Structure formats: structure tokens, C-alpha cells
Chains A and B, each alone.
Chain A
Amino acid sequence: MINVDFIIGHMNYWLFIVLMMTGLYIVVARGNLVKKIVGLNIFQTSVFMFYISIGKVTGGTAPIYPVDSQGHIQVDPSLTYSNPLPHVLILTAIVVGIATTSLALALIIRIREEYDTIEEDDILKIERELSAQDSKAHGSAMGGRA
């Protein structure tokens, strides 16, 4: 028995899961360092959407209290408001996400300067050569077995 109401009623979670897995898959499967960051961004964005969607209260309106002419807050008890807290929390996470992205891009620029490539396979090849040189030069400490 497929419960259609259940599936449609949890649409925000399905979207979150799909987006999250897409992002994680890109991070793991793509060899290009910039594309990995794109994947990481999608992954983080899915979490933003998750947080924002759980702040929704059925029938809720924007959580802004009206103020009368004297500046007193007039709360209308018949209205329901959405929960603003997850939105505020996720603002912090968005800032963190931007900082992470910019730092990652800066690192990629430095990697490109040093390695002349941003493809993971090529970088790994260069690093394997470097460590092969290391163990050739210094392997005697391990009796040449390392």
C-alpha cells in the first residue's frame, strides 16, 4: 500500500534528501576540485532548505508583530505565526557556507599555482611521484622496504 498523503505531506523531506545525496555524490564522484565545491554547496544548501522548511507552521503567516501608533506591539491572538528561529539559525550557516566556499576557492587557486592542474587524478599522480621520490630518498630508514 502506497500512502500518497504520506509521500506528498513529507515533500520537503524528500527534496532535502534528494538534494543532499546529489551534493554528496558530486563531492565524492567528481574529480575536478571546483566541481567538488559545487557539490559541497548543493549539500549545504539542502540543509538550509531543510531548516527553513521545518520553520513552517500550517496556516502560519510571517512572524512580524504589528505595532500601533504609540509603538506598542499588537499581537493578534487569532493569527498563527511561522517559527522564525530556524531561519535565523540558518542565516549563520549560510554565512559559514560562504566562508567555506571562498576559502576552498582560494585554496584551489593556490593548488593550481603549485600543481598547474585542478583535476584530482593529475594531482594524485604528481603526489604519488613525490612520495615515490621521498621513499626512494628516505626509504633506507625502513631498510628500503617502505
Chain B
Amino acid sequence: MSATEVHHVAKTLMDHLPILQVVIPLMSAPLIVMIGNRNLAWLIAFAASAASFVIACLLLSDVIDGSVISYHIGGWAPPLGIEYRIDALNALVLLLISGIGTIVLPYAYTSVKAEIPQRLHTLFYALYMLCLTGLLGMVATGDAFNVFVFLEISSLSTYVLVSLGANKDTRALTAAYDYLIMGTIGATFFVIGLGMLYMATGTLNMADLADRIAEQGANRTVQAAFTFIVVGMGLKAAMYPLHHWLPNAYTYAPSAVTTFLAATATKAAIYVLLRFMFSVFNPGFHFEDWTLYLIFIPFALLAMFAASFVAVFQTNLKRMLAFSSIAQIGYMLLGIAMLNATGLSASIVHLVNHGITKAALFMGAGALILYSGSAFFDNLNGLGRKMPLTGATMVAGGLSLIGVPGTAGFISKWVLVQAAFENGWWIIAVAIMLSSLLAVIYVWRMFEVLYLTAPDEGCTATDPPLPMLIPMLILAVSCIWFGFDTELTLGSAQVAADGLLAGSAGMMAH
């Protein structure tokens, strides 16, 4: 691995980018609460997340050639000090999270006014920024315990954000409670895993962990740690049998929150899973490839079919999209389980493409709800014709969800099928296509309701105001754009996949 490492010589502001990425949104949250003005709160939140988006762009352009930035917090050298480690994989995920975080905010400004009581708006933006901080921190850090801390920052704020939907439907409260119970069990499992890793190795720095695990080989403590970490993160990522919290949380949360969570929260968990499976542990261990083959593949396939099948029978648009998210996570896990460079890049590129697609769809759903009052299909009759641009967003997102050629979703499924053929698993390739057919059915139901039914008498719905419309259209265009220009997404995913497969060898460079 020719990983050139940029060592920490922090002289200019540019050298502090990895930490600024996380600190700027973190600091904005208390600032918002202290200032306590609703409009200023939005402005601060937007400025902070836009700044972190710009930083993510700069970081990705630095590491796209396969190099690694190692940032030592406070100048304390790892493995004792906490290290932030940016490579192509987490730079790409950082870009997705900060990008979605920024683009959802203008949308939230209008959407939140309609869905959340006014006195809570300031706190909403503070929590939103905390959630963004947590997700960015989870992805940026190179220290295993730091992942847990940021995971809990993002989770705790997510529970509150979900419960804010209680204004419209009280079931948001129980959804948030269920999510809290399961999320805490998941995070605690993760900590147990980390404790065992610390027992076995005496370190918490990911690169150092990788070296020491490679040295001592597999033993029962390391295996148990692996199990706890996979189950804990699997809960957070809504891996198929552990997905129970997801449908209710996505259905009853406010539209802006659903959009943000669907595009980022599970993706950050998938990233941590990837990082631990490939950078910390090593797929060379037998227990790991057995886990991938015997657990990930069956459950990924089950997710792709069962969740898609359930999605077909939903009467609520948001709930349908939530079940489709569980199915799409199945594709990502399948890509991981292929254990080849193509499969990993498929999984990473799907992580990004699906994030964009789902954000577009949930934003469109939120715009429809703004006029119809609910996401039930029979309230949405003919709204696609009344709201042409919202309808167009739903079409672009829907096509990308199916994976129609010329959309972002096609690229990731195409690479995934290629990876299956590379392994000679043609049955899995067929399964990918069959489950896409199920997606055709539920996406078609959405189109049918939006375009082929007559709108209600005297329906005055029009496209939502510009602050909601522009983010929606940007995402809709990116669904198509990334179907043609794969330089950014697939290009960096391939660099990231190579970096992951180089595994601990790549991390040992220092």
C-alpha cells in the first residue's frame, strides 16, 4: 500500500480541517441555544453546516489520490492521543453527511414551521446540529472509543428529533422510546465490544488496534469483541432482523428529520461497520468471512425481499419509503459480504447514491404532506399533476430507487451485479434483479397515485415555496447527474474500497 501519510504540522487553518469539520457544528449548537432567536438559529445552523460541507469538499480533494490525513488532537501523538484519520472512504461519507445536512436546512425552515410548535424551533436547530456533529465525528475519528461518544451524541439528539413529530401523531413518542431502548442496547453492545478489544490489545486507536490484532491473531476475546461490535452497529444500521425501530421512527418523525436521518444516520453506522470489519479486524480471519457468508448474505437477501415485499403493501408513503430503506441497506451489506474490491465499491457507492435518492424522496413526501396533511396514499391522489416539480422529484427519486439506467441507483446496482459475477454468484445477481422488480411495484404504486388518479375536487395544491423546492430539485437533479457522471461517487468509492481491502497493512504505514 503506497499510503503517503500527511503528518500533523498544524501551522495554518487548513491543517486543522479534520477537527474543524466536527467542532464547527458542535459549537454552533450551544450558540444557538444561548442566542435563543428563531431566525438567527436557522442562520447559524446553516452557516455552520455549510462550513462543514466546504471542509468536507476540501478534505476529499486532499485524499482522493489514496493518501491519508492523520490529525493529532492537541498535538498528542497516537496511539495515546486521539487521532482523526481521514482517507477516501470517510471523506466521501463526510461529504454525504455534511452535504445532506446543509441541503436539508433550507427545506427545514419552511417544513418545520408547519410541523413543529414555534416555541421548539430554536431547540430543534440546536439538536439538529448536535446530531450532525455526532454523525460527522463518528465518521472522522480514528479512535474507537471516540466513535462511541459521537454515536451517543447523534443518537440522543435523534431520539428527541423523532419525538418532535408528536405534534402531528402521538405515535412519534413511542417510536422515539422504542428507538431509544434499541439504540442504547446497540451502543452498549458496541462498548462491550470495545472493552474486550481493549482487554486483548491495550489500545483504542484503530490503526494500532489493527496492528496488534494482526500480531496476536484471532483468539476468543477478539472474536467476542467482533460479535458485539457487529451486532451493536447492526442495530444502529437497521440490519435486517434488527430493523424494528426504523419504520415507526421514519414514519412519525417530522419530514425534515426523516429526510436527514434516512440519508445519513444508517449510512454512518454502515461506515463504522465497514471500518471495523476491514480496517480494524481483518477479513483474513476465518470468523469474519464466515460471519459475512453465513450471516450477512442470508440476512441481506431476506432484507431485500421481505422488506421490499412489505413496502408493496403499505398505505402510507413515508412508511413505504422506510421499508424500502431497510431493503436498500440489504444491498449495501450484500456488497460488503462479496469481499472483493468491486463489491465494496458497490456498497460504498450505494451508500452515497441511496442517501441522495432517499433524501429526494422523503423531501418530496414532506412537500406533499404540507398540502395533504398526511402521507396516506388516498390523500395524495393526483397531487403529482397539481405539484409538477414535486412530482418530478418523486419520479427522479423513484426511478433511482428502482435502478433505472441513467439514474444514480442504476450505477450502484450495476456495480453490485458485476461484483456478484466476479465471485461467480450468478444466483445472487439474479436475486438483485428480482428484488429490483419488487421496487418497481412499490414505486409504480406511488406514480399511479400521484399521476393516474384524479385529484380531489377543489384541490388547490401547488408546488411548495422556494426554500423547500430548491433543495428538492438539487437532490432530484443529483439523482440523475450521478447516473451519468460517476467520477466523484464511483471514483472515490473505488479508491476507498482499495484502501479498505489493503486493510490493516495500509494502516500500519505510520
CB of B423 closer than 8 Å to a CB of A: no
Which residues of chain A are within 8 angstroms of B433 by Cβ–Cβ distance? none
- A138-B315, A139-B315 known; A103 vs B160 contact (CB < 8 Å): yes
**Structural contact, A107 and B163, CB atoms closer than 8 A:** yes
Interface string of A108-138 (1 = CB under 8 A from B): 1011001100000001000100100011011
CB of A21 closer than 8 Å to a CB of B: no
**Structural contact, A51 and B173, CB atoms closer than 8 A:** no
Using CB atoms and an 8 Å cutoff, list the residues of chain A in contact with chain B: 20, 24, 27, 33, 36, 40, 43-44, 47, 50-51, 54, 85-86, 89, 92-93, 96, 99-100, 103-104, 107-108, 110-111, 114-115, 123, 127, 130, 134-135, 137-142, 145-146
- A50-B192, A141-B378 known; A146 vs B313 contact (CB < 8 Å): yes
* Interface residue SS majority, chain B: helix
**A33 and chain B: residue at smallest CB distance:** B177
**Structural contact, A127 and B174, CB atoms closer than 8 A:** yes
**Structural contact, B195 and A47, CB atoms closer than 8 A:** yes
**Structural contact, A107 and B316, CB atoms closer than 8 A:** no
- Taking CB atoms and an 8 Å cut-off, the chain B residues in 97-113 that contact chain A are none
Which residues of chain B are within 8 angstroms of A140 by Cβ–Cβ distance? 378
Name 30 A/B residue pairs within 8 A (Cβ), A-sorted. A24-B185, A27-B185, A40-B184, A44-B184, A47-B188, A50-B195, A51-B191, A51-B195, A54-B198, A54-B199, A86-B195, A89-B145, A89-B204, A93-B148, A96-B149, A99-B156, A100-B152, A103-B159, A108-B177, A110-B163, A123-B174, A127-B171, A130-B171, A135-B315, A138-B316, A141-B315, A141-B377, A142-B377, A146-B313, A146-B314
**Structural contact, B377 and A138, CB atoms closer than 8 A:** yes
**Structural contact, B315 and A142, CB atoms closer than 8 A:** yes
**Structural contact, B315 and A40, CB atoms closer than 8 A:** no
CB distance from A32 to the nearest CB of B (A): 12
Interface residues on B, range: 35 or more
CB distance from A110 to the nearest CB of B (A): 5
Interface string of B136-160 (1 = CB under 8 A from A): 0000000001001100100010011
CB of B180 closer than 8 Å to a CB of A: yes
* Interface residue SS majority, chain A: helix
**Structural contact, B377 and A114, CB atoms closer than 8 A:** no
**Structural contact, B376 and A107, CB atoms closer than 8 A:** no
CB distance from A117 to the nearest CB of B (A): 11
CB of B404 closer than 8 Å to a CB of A: no
**Structural contact, B177 and A104, CB atoms closer than 8 A:** yes
CB of B370 closer than 8 Å to a CB of A: no
**B179 and chain A: residue at smallest CB distance:** A107
- A50-B195, A141-B378 known; A111 vs B173 contact (CB < 8 Å): yes
- Taking CB atoms and an 8 Å cut-off, the chain B residues in 189-231 that contact chain A are 191-192, 195, 198-199, 204
